[in-house]
Amino acid sequence: MPAFLIAIAFCCEYVDSALGMGYGTVLTPVLLLFGYPATSVVAIVLFSEFLSGLIAGLVHHKLGNISLRRKSRDRRIVLVLASTGIFGTVAAVFTAVRIPAVVLKGYIGAMVLAMGIVVFLLRKASLRFSWARIFALGTVSAFNKGMSGGGYGPLVVSGQILSGHETKGAIGVTSMAEGLICAVGFSLYLVSQGGTAWFGENWRLCLPIVVGAVLAAPAAAWTTRWISKRIDLRIVVAVATSILGAWTLYKAFG
């Protein structure tokens, strides 16, 4: 089982760090399907995504997909997405109990699907960069994640593209920003679950998931760089985003 867990975490993180979406969306239901308790799964996904997201972001920087140098636009976008993400997550905590789960999943699925379609339709358009859209994007996407655990990656990547950010830069920035947000989420979860004692109770599941995710991050960042030179990444992101949106709608109403 540990080998399987490493493999599934590797595959999920590889797709996530290469396209900026899909890790928690796929890994969480798979682990639940195998009978692991939801409380452990959510925390482990957050912890592993924190580590792999930061590593992927640094490798994206090393390969030139993004620039995290001081005063660079990519670095400022990461900080905006991370900071607005914290506020969005906190707001979600106070709202989640008031909205039926099926309505919430339907809303997120429809939004993500629409973003994918818009990215595809505007794939050849020259979009002017907008900080206002980045601020709004960070808050709404983190609100979605705090409400349901999903909808962050595809919305942030496609939203950045529609805000005028280069596609491979949007992917690298999303990995780094989501890693920072997951760090905050996991820290809050850890406090509520008794602190470091949580690791002693969950290390058999946590360790292989973390190993698989961390191993995948550098390879995925390299893949983004390689693909961006051969394929229009806007089309890849548009298709992947649309599929995840449609799948979310299916899970909500199917």
Scored b (16 or more CB within 10 A) or e, 98-112 reads: eeeeeebbbbbbebb
- CA-CA-CA-CA torsion sign (150, 156, 162, 166): negative
pTM of structure: 0.86
**Contact partners, residue 177, CB within 8 Å, separation at least 6:** 53, 57, 77, 78, 81, 82, 85, 138, 156
- What pLDDT was estimated at residue 126? 79
- What pLDDT was estimated at residue 206? 93
Domain boundaries, the chain: 2-253
Q: How far apart are CA 244 and CA 151, in angstroms?
A: 9
Joined tokens for residue 140 = 């709404």
What is the three-state SS of 72-106?
Answer: CHHHHHHHHHHHHHHHHHHHHHHHHHHCCHHHHHH
Report DSSP state, residue 127.
P
Joined tokens for residue 58 = 């640094």
Residue with tokens 């997951």: 182
Closest CA to 108 of 21, 174, 186: 21
Tens digits of pLDDT across the chain (254 residues): 689 999 999 999 999 999 988 888 788 888 888 888 877 887 898 899 999 999 999 999 999 999 999 999 999 999 999 888 777 766 665 665 566 767 767 877 888 888 889 988 988 887 889 999 998 888 888 777 666 556 678 889 999 999 999 999 999 999 999 898 888 878 877 877 777 787 888 889 999 999 999 999 999 999 999 988 888 888 989 998 899 888 888 877 87
- What pLDDT was estimated at residue 67? 96
Joined tokens for residue 158 = 């496609």
Joined tokens for residue 32 = 């639940």
Q: How far apart are CA 157 and CA 238, in angstroms?
A: 10
Q: How far apart are CA 189 and CA 94, in angstroms?
A: 16
Q: How far apart are CA 233 and CA 91, in angstroms?
A: 33
- What pLDDT was estimated at residue 207? 94
CB-side neighbour CA atoms (13 Å) of 36: 23
- What pLDDT was estimated at residue 185? 77
- CA-CA-CA-CA torsion sign (205, 152, 15, 116): positive
Residue with tokens 């400022």: 76
Q: How far apart are CA 189 and CA 58, in angstroms?
A: 25
